[in-house]
Every structure is written in structure tokens, then in C-alpha cells.
Amino acid sequence: PSLHRQRHQFVIDFVRRNKPRKVVDLGCSECSLLKKLKFHREVELLVGVDINGAKVKKKMHGLGPISTDYLQPTYDQLRVELYQGSVTQKDVRLRGFDLVTSIELIEHLTLADVECFSEVVFGYMIPVAVIVSTPNSEFNPLFTGLTGFRHSDHKFEWTRAEFQSWALKVCLEYGYEVEFTGVGQAPPGQQESVGFCSQIGVFHRRAGRDHCNMLFGDDADDVFSYTLLYSINY
């Protein structure tokens, strides 16, 4: 399977195991991951955010119920919401989620904006779990003919050590723990030295989910910075 599919499959496997009820995909682009997640009946609220509203609008209607959903309802309840907005900005509607996914997003941000992202996601949204994927630059020599970054819009590509140092700093600052993994295997014998093609950090909040309300201080007051593009109740 393509690397793109492997990354999404990683999220789907996580959802199967952990059964989050509220999930938000940051940098959802054309909503392809959200469309796959909609088939998991534990999910009650599925949200997508992207800075590029035109990209989101392109295929968002595919998130609505399809005829078989009416003939054979598989959802207890499901609400889908899509927003245009930047992950560097807070929005109160994104607090209190069980899972935040950020798949191949952070490398499109400047390092200053990655700092804002960390604060918004881990310090303000305070989800139970976060999955972050980003290219592993140590894998790049295996791409023949690649000079520079994998994509012209990338602002950086991190080594495993660079990614891990960002992630561990986030954990210290905001009270999370992280496990490192990835998708896209190197050829036999090279896995150790280059790592995965896409590196992934899976973060869990240290305090249990019941402490959630205590964590949300008064600064939660009504920051609505995102624009709602689409919403539907099943």
C-alpha cells in the first residue's frame, strides 16, 4: 500500500484499539482520513480543520450519509464538522477531544508556528491522545534523485533526534508521554540506521480523561477563530 494509505491505516488501527468518541483531524485537506473514520461506530464527533477552505470544500459532501446508511444504519450517533482555520490559532470548539491527528502537517509550518501548534494542541485543546506524523529526513537518501525536501512547501524535515527532542519538550511542558514509531519500512538491514519513511509520535495525556474539566481554566472563554464550512448529523 502507498505510504499515504499506511499513515491513515495507522490512525484507523489506533481508533479500533482505543475507541475515541471525539476525533479531530488537523490539516484534513480533502477529508480522505475523515471518510475512513466515519465507519467506526464508537466515534460520535468527527471534526476536520484545514487552513485551505477550498481544498476542504472540494470533496466534503462525500462525508454525508450515503444511501446504505439509511437502509442499514450503523451509527448510534455521528456528527461531522469541517472548519477552515489555522492550527496556530485557538478555537474553543476543539477542546475536550479524545484524539487529535496531525498527519504530515507540521512540516508545512515555520518553526515559530510549530511552537504555536504545540501550545494550541497540547496546552489548549488538551486532548487525551495525539498522533503526529512527519517525514523522517534520515530516510531521504533512499529516494533516488531527491535533492532538498520531499515537497516544495515543506519548511523543514526532521531527523529522528530532532523530532524526538521536539516531542519530549512538549511532553515535559504539557504533561504528556510519547511513543515513537512510524510507517514505511527501509530495505532489510537498513531499518536501524535510517528509520521509517514517515516518523510518528503517539502522545497520551498523563492525567486520566476524568481530570479534563479541571485542566480547562477560565481562559476557555469563547474563542471562535475557525469558520464552519460543513456540518451534518447522522
> Is residue 55 a contact residue for ligand SAM (CB under 6 A)?
yes
- Edge-to-edge strands of the sheet including 79-84? 176-183, 198-205, 129-135, 99-103, 22-26, 45-50, 79-84, 227-233
Q: Look at phi and psi of residue 110 and say left if phi exceeds 0, alpha if psi is from -120 to 50, else beta.
A: beta
Q: Name which position in 81, 91, 104, 138 contacts ligand SAM (CB under 6 A).
A: 104
Shortest CA distance to 40 belongs to which of 77, 4, 82? 77
192-231 binders of ligand SAM (CB under 6 A): none
DSSP state of 206: S
Distance CA 141, CA 224 (A): 43
Q: Name which position in 50, 81, 98, 157 contacts ligand SAM (CB under 6 A).
A: 50
Distance CA 161, CA 176 (A): 18
> Is residue 27 a contact residue for ligand SAM (CB under 6 A)?
yes
Q: Name which position in 10, 23, 29, 226 contacts ligand SAM (CB under 6 A).
A: 29
Distance CA 82, CA 13 (A): 23
Q: Name which position in 15, 51, 80, 167 contacts ligand SAM (CB under 6 A).
A: 51
Contact indicator for 42, 77 with CB cutoff of 8 Å: no
The CB-of-108 to ligand SAM minimum distance in angstroms stands at 4
Contact indicator for 27, 63 with CB cutoff of 8 Å: no
Binding-site size for ligand SAM (CB under 6 A) equals: 19
Closest CB to ligand SAM among 53 and 175? 53
Kindly indicate which of the ranges 28-36, 167-175, 182-190, 200-208 contains the residues binding ligand SAM, using the contact rule CB under 6 A: 28-36
Q: Name which position in 9, 52, 110, 191 contacts ligand SAM (CB under 6 A).
A: 52
Closest CB to ligand SAM among 49 and 130? 49
Residues that bind ligand SAM (CB under 6 A): 4, 7, 27, 29, 32-33, 49-52, 55, 86-88, 103-105, 108-109
